[in-house]
Amino acid sequence: MLRTFAVALLTLVAFSTSAQTLDARVAAEIPSLLDTYRTLHASPELSLQEAKTSAFLATRLRELGYEVAYPFGKYRDPNATCYGVVAVLRNGKGPMVLVRSDMDGLPVTEQTGLPYTSQNAGVMHACGHDVHMTTLLGTARVLADLKSQWRGTVMLIGQPAEEIVRGANGMLEGGLYEKFGQPDFAIALHDWAALESGKIGYRANAFMAATDSLNLVIRGVGGHGAAPHTTKDPVVLAAETILALQSIISRERPPLEPAVITVGKIDGGTKRNIIPDEVRLYLTVRTFNPEVRRQVLESIQRVPKGLAMAAGLPDDRAPVYEHLAEESVEATFNDAALTERLAASIGRELGAANVIEIQPAMVSEDFGRFGLGGKIPTVLLALGAADPAALAAGTQSGLHSSKFAPSDPSIVLRTGVRAAVSAVLDLLKK
């Protein structure tokens, strides 16, 4: 009995020592990671324009001893450069783990008032991809130092164009797995404004929605603003269309199946007294169930056509529906077994109370593409970034908001690096 107790005690001591060691090791990196984070935060670049960001990341990873390929990847559009970064560290025979960070910022004018606020007017790291890159660099450094504790291969990815869900495809179509091998697991962290800093959130199976990017061109017959009866006003028709689209959600979608239709941008007209010839609507559509996805997209083609007909427009002035396949992606699923495994290993590092199950979200991601349609187990984890008091008061700014910033970057980065390193160490343990 005593002996069992002694063994248990020894195991506990050994375990907590190694946990402290990783935490202490990560804590020592925080001052330099905070510098990196502020530098990245101040210099965001839009999707497809991540030239400086990716060069920065590639240089740092090369300095850490990783074999780096950059810029890596290929878009279908020959005029666009895919600024992907691939950094590989080989450490003997064993599995390969892919760890991804995205790199792009958003067209948002920052209003955080932070001393290291964006220096690129109208562009902001409002989705926290600066946090992800910094976490990746911290993870890279610690894993390079702890080579004696793992075996196999680490493949770190700096992915461009996540916000328009094109970057993962760009890197895969550029031959990522053909050139560097196919990983056995793929993981990523995304900061989460609905979760407190210091915590990691996980969700097995359906986690993020499918996204479809659509344009609707509502056509009319233009003319004088004072003589609407001699025209077919596309502005009025666009207004009717926007409201009717919401009825697809309330009346056609099965109520237990989540779906969102948002018209995020409207373009039309030149002057108050001119009725234009057309109005352009820019939509994002979110769904989980592939059948619901198909139905909703079909309705978005049918309803505007019916309204145009009701307005008396001829068939050749019917609305034009454009689906942007390259900016659309299926729902993100987390492999259930891998999710459980990582939640447990990260829980041992951070404490089980800091690793919690969270709800799925209607946001979207192209990270799942790295799983090749379920062939490679993938898990996207949530990295808490919210201020607990603001979260409780309902005043926490969300991702993509001009006021979003992680509440305390040092806690978020420390949690992110500890989580990523402990996940990789578990997957590549000797």
Interaction residues for Zn ion, span 232-291 (CB under 5 A):
none
Instruction: Between 127 and 176, name the residue whose CB sits nearer to Zn ion.
Output: 127
Name which of 164 and 427 has its Cβ closer to Zn ion. 164
Burial 136-166 (b: 16+ CB within 10 A, else e): bbbbbbbbeebeebbebbbbbbbbbbbbbbb
Helix (H) or strand (E) holding 333, with range, is strand 332-334
> Footprint of Zn ion on residues 54-93 (CB under 5 A)?
none
Q: At what angle do helices 129-145 and 409-427 cross, to 10 degrees?
A: 50
- As given in the structure block, the two tokens for residue 306 are 């019916």
CB of 365 to Zn ion, least distance (A): 7
d(CA 298, CA 292): 10
Is residue 71 reached through a cis peptide bond, with omega within 30 degrees of 0 on the bond before it?
Answer: yes
Q: Which is nearer to Zn ion, 133 or 417 (CB)?
A: 133
Of 71-79, 119-127, 148-156, 287-295, the window that binds Zn ion (rule: CB under 5 A) is 119-127
- Tell me the residue length of the chain: 430
Q: Which of 322, 285, 48, 282 is nearest to 163 (CA)?
A: 48
Q: Binding Zn ion by CB under 5 A: which of 98, 127, 176, 405?
A: 127
CB of 102 to Zn ion, least distance (A): 6
Instruction: Find the shortest distance in angstroms from Cβ 3 to Zn ion.
Output: 52
Q: What gap in Å lies between CA 54 and CA 13, rounded to an integer?
A: 42
Which region, left, alpha or beta, applies to residue 121 given φ > 0 means left and ψ of -120 to 50 means alpha? beta
Binding segment (CB under 5 A) for Zn ion, from list 44-52, 78-86, 126-134, 192-200 = 126-134
Task: Please say which residue, 127 or 188, places its beta carbon nearer to Zn ion.
Answer: 127
Amino acid letter, 278: E
Nearer to Zn ion, 208 or 308 (CB): 208
Least distance from C-beta 383 to Zn ion, angstroms? Answer: 11
Please give the single-letter amino acid code of residue 163.
E
Q: Which is nearer to Zn ion, 191 or 387 (CB)?
A: 191
Whether the CB-CB separation of 384 and 415 falls below 8 Å is answered with yes
The minimum distance between CB 160 and Zn ion, in angstroms, equals: 12
Q: Residue 11 CB: number of other CB atoms within 10 A?
A: 10
What are the helix (H) ranges across 94-233?
129-145, 167-173, 176-180
Instruction: Give 127 or 413: the residue with its C-beta nearer to Zn ion.
Output: 127
| Closest distance to Zn ion from the beta carbon of 399 (Å) | 6
Name the minimum Å distance from CB 159 to Zn ion: 10
Per-residue contact string for residues 145-164; x = within reach of Zn ion by CB under 5 A? --------------------
Return d(Cα 74, Cα 171) in angstroms, integer. Answer: 6
- Shortest Å, Cβ 324 to Zn ion: 17
- C-alpha atoms less than 13 angstroms from C-alpha of 52 in its C-beta half-sphere: 11
* Beta carbon of residue 402, minimum distance to Zn ion (angstroms, whole number): 13
Please identify, using beta-carbon distances, which residue of 278 and 327 lies nearer to Zn ion.
327
> Under rule CB under 5 A, how many of the chain's residues touch Zn ion?
1
Choice between 47 and 231, CB closer to Zn ion: 47
The alpha-helical segments, DSSP class H, found in 200-276 are 234-247
* Residue with smallest beta-carbon separation from Zn ion: 127
Residues 168-207 contacting Zn ion, CB under 5 A: none
User: Which residues from 16-45 bind Zn ion, rule CB under 5 A?
Assistant: none
Residue 285: partners with Cβ closer than 8 Å, 6 or more residues away? 211, 212, 214, 259, 260, 261, 262, 293, 296, 297, 300
Of 86-94, 108-116, 124-132, 177-185: span binding Zn ion (CB under 5 A): 124-132
Contact 92, 76 (CB under 8 A): no
Binding residues for Zn ion (CB under 5 A):
127
